[in-house]
Structure 1
């Protein structure tokens, strides 16, 4: 008998796993392994754009939600928020760009037809965005950790709060250091 017995259920399970992982947002991250993580116990959150007077009310709400979720993740890692003399600065930025997507469709073309073919061009504007979070050592001014995620994968979520929470959580799933500890802690990865 052969050890290579094929089960139809295994094929379906493998296909399902491939689909699940291909739909999840791709996080790009960097951890500076030379950082002295056991010396970090406090942090300050800042936005890339310090002047928020030109940001709409809806935009300020989004930034506030991002900050709240950053605080939750840092608290989960036992870091203390400090406004003066923190060990780390957690900087975030929501980067967005409007892209124009065009699609050309040819309908009705046939070499045997006496009618001319019809071309339809569809043009649509698409908002592309990404969330970037980085942590910097205040004393050395060196980057400790950085992660970004393409927010377009989150468009299936219905609520803005869920989108932001999931994005921030996915980013912090790559930052596995508790306050004052050099040892990565795998238990900090959220259950999905």
Structure 2
């Protein structure tokens, strides 16, 4: 029974880490003067996308996810668009050290002792922040920006799935709820 109580905090901690890695934190902002009902088509803004400091493969993954999401929202990809889509990214590596020292203390009697059967767990994760900018094609002004921060997929086979999730969560905020 004692062993169960010793490892309960570790299990809870690992569960919280797993849950927190799955979440995507999103936010958005927009130009209150923009007429979002007038936007029906989009194209990618190549000069902006070229500046994003990620691999070309990840750029393609992000662009595929954006195209899918925008199409699902009723937008048409066009050579003469209403909106230009640009992206930029930031990454942050997190190093967390968790200490579990369940068996330490001092001895009784004449001989003090110290015993530690604990262990340290080092966890490295990379968080990425993706910004999606929607720019009015006529005025060349930013009208909407969405941002999503999440843990990045480590396995190549999971990258597209994770990028899809991040992009879809960001674009859920578009169009803004106008008041």
Q: How does the TM-score come out when normalised to structure 2?
A: 0.64
Q: Is the 8 A contact 1:103 1:122 kept in 2?
A: yes
Matched ranges for 1:29-48 at <5 A: 29-46=28-45, 48=48
Alignment of 1:110 with 2:105, yes or no, is yes
Q: Structure 2: how far apart are the matches of 1:72 and 1:79?
A: 10
Secondary structure of residue in 1 paired with 2:24? coil
Structure 1 residues 50 and 154 mapped into 2: Cα distance closer, same or farther (>3 Å)?
A: closer
Q: Is the 8 A contact 2:49 2:59 kept in 1?
A: no
Instruction: Report which of the two has the higher share of helix.
Output: 2
Question: RMSD over aligned Cα, in angstroms?
Answer: 3.4
Tell me by how many angstroms 1:154 deviates: 7.5
Q: Structure 2: how far apart are the matches of 1:148 and 1:80?
A: 22
Secondary structure of residue in 2 paired with 1:98? strand
Equivalent residues, number: 151
Match of residue 50 from structure 1: 50
Structure 1 residues 100 and 159 mapped into 2: Cα distance closer, same or farther (>3 Å)?
A: closer
Q: Is the 8 A contact 2:83 2:137 kept in 1?
A: yes
Tell me by how many angstroms 1:127 deviates: 1.2
Q: Structure 1: how far apart are the matches of 2:121 and 2:105?
A: 22
Q: How does the TM-score come out when normalised to structure 1?
A: 0.61
Matched ranges for 1:31-180 at <5 A: 31-46=30-45, 48=48, 50=50, 59-83=55-79, 86-112=81-107, 114-118=112-116, 120-152=119-151, 159-176=158-175
